[in-house]
Each structure stands twice: as structure tokens, then as C-alpha cells.
Amino acid sequence: MESMNSKFKVGDPVVVARENPTGNPRTPRYIRGKRGVVGLVHGVLENIRDHRGIHNPLYTVRFDLSEVSICHDQDSIWVDVHEEWLSAIQPEERN
């Protein structure tokens, strides 16, 4: 990997990959291909209990509930996602 520094910061709009980009497979299906905003930046975490190696930086990404389910209210789902699953996107334009 290029570096151990986190590529995204809090507030960055991101989209989750649809397919597993050969990284940590632990990304729930319901957020794949979905748009969210970085809510927490954790950096590289050691998790020897559950992983064989060291993974890329971890983020907690906030998704509007309406992005991941049929509900339309102000609620949100915050999911832990590793960096290789995320790509930067332009902030959504709202009318």
C-alpha cells in the first residue's frame, strides 16, 4: 500500500464498491454500491483476533437510511468499512 495514512477525512462523500476489492471481506452487502459520508476515521487498527494481517485504514461511514432501505426519514446507519472499499465522489447536489 502507498502509505498507512488515511486517504479520507470526516465529511468526505464516498461510494462503496459493488464487488469485493480483494481486501477485508467484511463489508455488509446492503451498503455495497451505496453512497455515504465519512463519519469517523480510525486509521489502521490491529485486530489479531479476527484478521491474519494488518488491513487498510478503517472508517465509519454514515449512510442515510433512505440510501440503504425503503425508509425515508432523518435516520442513518453507520457502518465500519475499510479503505479499499471506498471511492471519493462529488457531494450530491440538492435542489
Partner 1 sequence: MHEEREWAGGIIVAKAWMDSEFKEALLTTGREALREMGVHQGKVGKLVVVENTDKVHNLVVCTLCSCYPYDILGDTPWWYKHESYRTKIVQNPRACAQEMFQLEIPAGKQVRVYDSTSDVRYFVLPQRPAGTEGMSEEELAKLVTADSLIGAGYALEPDQLNEVERTGAAPEMPRVRPD
Chain residues that interact with partner 1, rule: CB under 8 A: 26-28, 30, 40, 42, 45, 47, 49-50, 55, 58, 60, 62, 65, 68-71, 73-81
Evaluate whether 31 touches 18 at the Cβ level (below 8 Å).
Answer: no
Q: Which three cell numbers stand for residue 92?
A: 450530491
CA distance 50 to 5: 22
Query: Which CB sits closer to partner 1, 7 or 55?
Result: 55
Task: In angstroms, give the least distance from the CB of 1 to partner 1.
Answer: 17
User: What is the tally of helices (H) and strands (E) in the chain?
Assistant: 1, 5
Cβ-contact 80, 60 below 8 angstroms: yes
Least distance in angstroms from the C-beta of 75 to partner 1: 4
Cβ proximity to partner 1, 1 vs 40, nearer residue: 40
- CB 71 → partner 1: shortest distance, Å? 5
H or E element at residue 13: strand 13-16
Nearer to partner 1, 12 or 68 (CB): 68
